[in-house]
Amino acid sequence: MGFLTTIPVGISMEGIEAMMRHIYLFPSIGLLLGLLYGTVARFLSPFLPAGLVAVIVLLLIYKLCGINHIDGLADFVDGITAHGDREKKIRAMKDVHLGSAGGLYIALILIVLFYTMSALPSTLLPLALVAAEVSAKQSMIGFAAFSRPFQKGFGQMMIEKAGMRDFLAGLAISALLCAGILGPLGLAMLGLSLSSSLYLVAVSKRNFGGGSGDGIGASNEISRGIALISCLALMEVLPWTPW
């Protein structure tokens, strides 16, 4: 919780090292966060317009999760869009200044989240938020498990520790949660969001020679958006009331 959110539960290097041995539990944190978002959305929907509910949930997401992940998305995009060889791309990714490509992608992600949350029915939105957050956290595991680190940092630690057993254990947990929450629709959200993170693995390898913490953060942000887009696109095609 301390690694993935801003909730002040206390965090230390010993705690991070211990956490790295249990990366497969990331989806459980996604479940807790999604329940918080969903509860707020469920409570506010009868009283406020859908657009305002979406804004409040967005503020809650970045209040609880901080901006590390979306900052990672911006840095990742700045790197892959930079012109030049691999070294120039890595320098662009490490640059502390926000580039135009990174700013554009932050705006796009926020628009996607706002639109999908505004467009989803109020009965479906709380459940979709839970499944999307579980899917996003499993996508982080997927990116780490199939990458090789090219620089030092927390991202390197996670990538080195995440293995196939973590990926499969996390996938089993995520699949059970998403199926229990939204049935076939939840599984589709998980599958499509996870596919986006595996695509980012290939993009990161091609541009930087491996993965990093920025790629993990980018995977979280993009996968959450893909999961909600999938929910909106498939809600009339796939059943979503397993009970």
**In 120-153, which ranges are continuous DSSP H helix?**
125-145
pLDDT, one tens digit per residue, over 76-94 is 898 888 888 888 888 888 8
Q: Which amino acid is at 95?
A: D
Domain edges within the chain: 35-234
- pLDDT tens sequence across 62-74: 998 888 888 889 9
Q: Which of 49-58, 80-89, 214-223 has the lowest mean pLDDT?
A: 80-89
How many CB atoms within 10 Å of residue 104? 13
In this prediction, residues 145-155 reach a mean pLDDT of 78
Q: What is the pTM of this model?
A: 0.90
In sequence order, what are the residues at sequence separation of 6 or more whose Cβ sits closer than 8 angstroms to the Cβ of residue 18? Answer: none
Give residue 154's pLDDT band: very low, low, confident or very high (50, 70, 90): low
The percent of residues in the chain predicted with pLDDT above 70, rounded, is 94
Give the mean pLDDT of 216-234. Answer: 93
Quote the DSSP letter at residue 24: G
Percent helix, strand, coil in the chain, to 5, is: 75, 0, 20
Q: Give the angle 6-10-11 at the CA atoms, nearest 5°.
A: 90
Which tokens hold the place of 234? 């498939």
